[in-house]
Amino acid sequence: MAIDTTIYDRSSGVSSAILDWLQMLTGAGLILFMWSHMVLVASVNLGAGAMNTLARFFEDTYMAQVGGPLIGATFLLHFILAARKVPFRTEQQSTIWKHTRALHHLDTWLWLVQAFTAMIILIMGSIHMWTVLTDLPITAAKSAARIQGGFWLVFYLILLPMVELHVGIGFYRIGVKWGFIKRSNRKGLKRFENILTGIFILIGLITIIRFMTLSI
């Protein structure tokens, strides 16, 4: 007797679609967070007082104490959801590598960059969040002391481009996958995404230099 798999197929399709939505929503939430994070941290360029005032506001309203762990949880959930598609096994990795080289398709390369940066961000982002959130309050002087120590300077010089590439490509891929970016506007929006990524890396570097030169 033939087994009717319609119900099974449909339900697994539905749950996969829900998981895809969740992946997109957590990703979009993290993109918004990273943009706000850049503005907040870069406030040090206006003076240590500006950064301290913003940090105190976020701590007095408990947004850092509650929001911080919530961002950490969203970060982990986003990883678990995205990991469904990441090739972890050696044979899967060698297949995707061969296919990517054969296809000559930029968006496939972008997907590989996305998967690679994700692993680095998972480890380094977790270490960073733990370090900052277990050492509240946030002050410009403490951040500067960390970066002037050397270790965190190298750490952020690696994490910054990884995050900005991941955020920029993620933004572009959400647009393509969910239909906001169409064949007609694809080229222009890809250029826009590259420029945005470059601007964020530049602001991040200027901020790191500001921390290096801040007297503590």
Q: In the chain, helix, strand, coil percent, each to 5? A: 85, 0, 15
d(CA 189, CA 191): 5
> Do the Cβ atoms of 168 and 199 come closer than 8 Å?
no
The token duo for 74 is 């969203």
- Binding segment for ligand HEM (CB under 6 A), chosen from 2-10, 100-108, 159-167, 172-180, is 159-167
Q: Scanning residues 35 to 54, which ones bind ligand HEM (CB under 6 A)?
A: 37, 41
Least distance to ligand HEM, CB of residue 166, Å: 8
Pull the structure tokens for residue 1: 């007797």
Nearer CB in complex with ligand HEM: 142/186: 142
**Is residue 214 at the binding interface for ligand HEM, with CB under 6 A as the rule?**
no
Alpha-carbon distances of 171 from 85, 133, 185, rounded to whole Å: 18, 27, 15
Out of 112, 129, 141, 196, the only residue in the binding site for ligand HEM (CB under 6 A) is 129
Q: DSSP character for 150?
A: S
> Which residue of 71, 110, 169, 181 would you call a contact of ligand HEM, by CB under 6 A?
71
- Return the residue of 78, 110, 146, 168 that touches ligand HEM, per CB under 6 A: 146
**Positive or negative torsion for Cα 52, 58, 62, 65:** negative
Q: Smaller CB distance to ligand HEM: residue 168 or 204?
A: 204
The least distance separating ligand HEM from the CB of residue 1, rounded to whole angstroms, comes to 53
Binding segment for ligand HEM among 15-23, 81-89, 138-146, 190-198 (CB under 6 A)? Answer: 138-146
Query: Is residue 78 within the footprint of ligand HEM (CB under 6 A)?
Result: no
Question: Which strand (E) or helix (H) includes residue 62?
Answer: none
User: Does 118 interact with ligand HEM (rule: CB under 6 A)?
Assistant: no
Q: Give CB contacts under 8 A, 24+ apart, made by 187-193.
A: 193/168, 193/169
For residue 124, give both structure tokens. Answer: 């380094």
Amino acid (one-letter) located at 176 = V
Size (the chain), residues: 216
Q: Is 163 in the site for ligand HEM (CB under 6 A)?
A: yes
Question: Residue 170, interface with ligand HEM (CB under 6 A)?
Answer: no
* Minimum distance from residue 88 beta carbon to ligand HEM (Å): 20
Contact status: 156 vs ligand HEM (CB under 6 A) = yes
